[in-house]
Amino acid sequence: MALKILTVFGTRPEAIKMFPLVHALRGDSRFVSRVCVTGQHRGMLDQVLAIAGVAPDHDLNVMQPDQSLDALTARLLTGIGQVLDAERPDWVVVQGDTATAMCGALAAYYRKIPVAHVEAGLRSGNIHHPWPEEINRKIIGTMARLHCAPTETAADALKRENTDPAAIHVTGNTVIDALHWVTAQIREKPELAAGLTELEARFAGKRIIGVTSHRRENFGDGMQGIARAIRQIAARDDVALIFPVHLNPHVQSVMEAELAGLDNVALIAPLDYPHFARLIDIATLMLTDSGGVQEEAPALGKPVLVMRETTERPEGVEAGTARLVGTDSDRIVAETFRLLDDSDAYAAMARAHNPFGDGHSAHRIVELLATG
Ligand code: UD1
Ligand code: UDP
């Protein structure tokens, strides 16, 4: 009998890291694949579903403007619970550390349905950075039956927490599968990533810096520091910054207020995945507080300055392709200028480096699900 697998996801990064698994499951007769999206993100989730050709079986559509963590959690837990009661899957698969992932695991646990955790074992060691993700992933880790760790470092973190070693498997991170897939799509159909042409022409001759920022723990002082840094970097006439702004109103209001109207700063809507891959490709470096971008930029040989105090992805820092720079504007500016002005420093960071996966993670996870 085919195993029924329910994948549950709701935000942009989960969708990007889950679509390779959904693709692998739907082509495999050992499984019946069901997809539940929570709609924790709406527009940014739908961008990924459209590109990846994923049609959800359930869409809980939970997003509300400026949602609070507790109300979001309540909507997610009851909504996912109802889907589980209707579907009674053999496995629930969640990814990462969002509210959707935590509630997906908890709702499954309440029904004694086994949980597989994709991207298991990431730890910063600080429950306030990133917030609330560090706690979400620890909670999921306590309930999961199968832990798909992206790296040996992540697997070791789980072992240190006394997780059953037989349940931990190093699979690589499915983000590299997703990146390979989208790169192949763009190669076949360049028009998929042609929407940046106008900006590329406007900024011809300048070095492009790609920027993203959205972390809740950076709201307030952290985000102000990031915005101030971008303003100072933009004072140079040899650079241009392309910043697809996250739809969270706390991010939009700060960035609009601080950066609108600067000639060489393009504040643009979130890019779909092919266009974001193109942005990394044309960028000299990336400035980000994102988790996923810390994994993708090194894979594409681009230095990444991580605007956070801690990271749960030390592999990029250890390899020298990522550097933690915090949210103090002077530090961000100094580190950015160093990369722009010191070609040796730049060359040392701009090496293609792929500690996060080989592009075959989804198939490894599928085999683990098949053998239980
Ligand atoms: C969430 C995750 C975070 C992840 C991030 C990826 C939690 C607690 N946080 O944070 O781990 O790194 O997604 O981006 O799960 N909004 C829109 N349209 C969208 C998406 C968001 O309008 O497509 C706005 C809404 O006003 C929404 C707000 O952003 O209420 C916040 O969204 P939410 O998912 O709660 O938090 P994020 O900061 O995006
Ligand atoms: N991304 C995207 N469009 C954008 C910005 C980011 O497709 O405009 C992708 C990026 O390639 C990465 C993921 O979104 O795969 C990261 O999502 P985000 O930074 O929102 O969340 P995090 O990874 O920090 O949880």
The average confidence (pLDDT) of the chain is: 97
Mutate which of 40, 175, 276 to test ligand 2's pocket (most atoms within 8 Å of Cβ)? 276
- Give the right CATH number for 195-350 from 3.40.50.2000, 3.40.50.920, 2.60.260.20, 1.10.530.10: 3.40.50.2000
Cite the residue boundaries of each domain of the chain with CATH code 3.40.50.2000. 3-173+357-371, 195-350
Q: Which residue has the higher pLDDT, 63 or 354?
A: 63
Q: pLDDT at position 353, please?
A: 79
Q: What residues pair up with 146 in beta bridges, in sequence order?
A: 116
Q: Residue 12 C-alpha to ligand 1 middle, in angstroms?
A: 9
Which residues does the annotation mark as catalytic?
A: 97, 119, 133, 214, 216, 246
- pLDDT tens per residue, range 116-129: 999 999 999 999 99
Of the pLDDT bands very low, low, confident and very high (cuts 50, 70, 90), residue 1 is confident
Tell me the pLDDT tens digit for each residue of 166-179. 999 999 999 999 99
pLDDT at 13 (0 to 100): 98
Distance from residue 47's CA to the centre of ligand 2 (Å): 11
Pocket test for ligand 1, best of 219, 247, 312 (most atoms within 8 A of CB): 247
Of residues 215, 279, 294, the one with CA closest to residue 241: 279
Report the phi/psi class of residue 14: left, alpha or beta, with left for phi > 0 and alpha for psi in -120 to 50.
Answer: alpha
pLDDT for residue 352 is more than 80: no
Whether residue 319 is predicted with pLDDT greater than 80 in this model: the reply is: yes
Give per-residue pLDDT as tens, 262-299: 999 999 999 999 999 999 999 999 999 999 999 999 99
CATH 3.40.50.2000 holds for 3-173+357-371: yes
Question: Against a cut of 0.85, is the pTM above it?
Answer: yes
How would you write the chain as a 3-class SS string? CCEEEEEEECCHHHHHHHHHHHHHHHCCCCEEEEEEECCCCCHHHHHHHHHHCCCCCEECCCCCCCCCHHHHHHHHHHHHHHHHHHHCCCEEEEECCCHHHHHHHHHHHHCCCCEEEECCCCCCCCCCCCCCHHHHHHHHHHHCCEEEECCHHHHHHHHHCCCCHHHEEECCCHHHHHHHHHHHHHHHCHHHHHHHHHHHHHCCCCEEEEEECCCHHHCCHHHHHHHHHHHHHCCCCCEEEEEECCCCHHHHHHHHHHHCCCCCEEEECCCCHHHHHHHHHHCCEEEECCHHHHHHHHHCCCCEEECCCCCCCHHHHHHCCEEECCCCHHHHHHHHHHHHHCHHHHHHHCCCCCCCCCCCHHHHHHHHHHHC
| In the chain, % of residues over pLDDT 70 | 100
- Of all ligands present, the nearest one to the C-alpha of 98 is 1
pLDDT value of residue 372: 81
Tens-place pLDDT, residues 178-235: 999 999 999 999 999 999 999 999 999 999 999 999 999 999 999 999 999 999 999 9
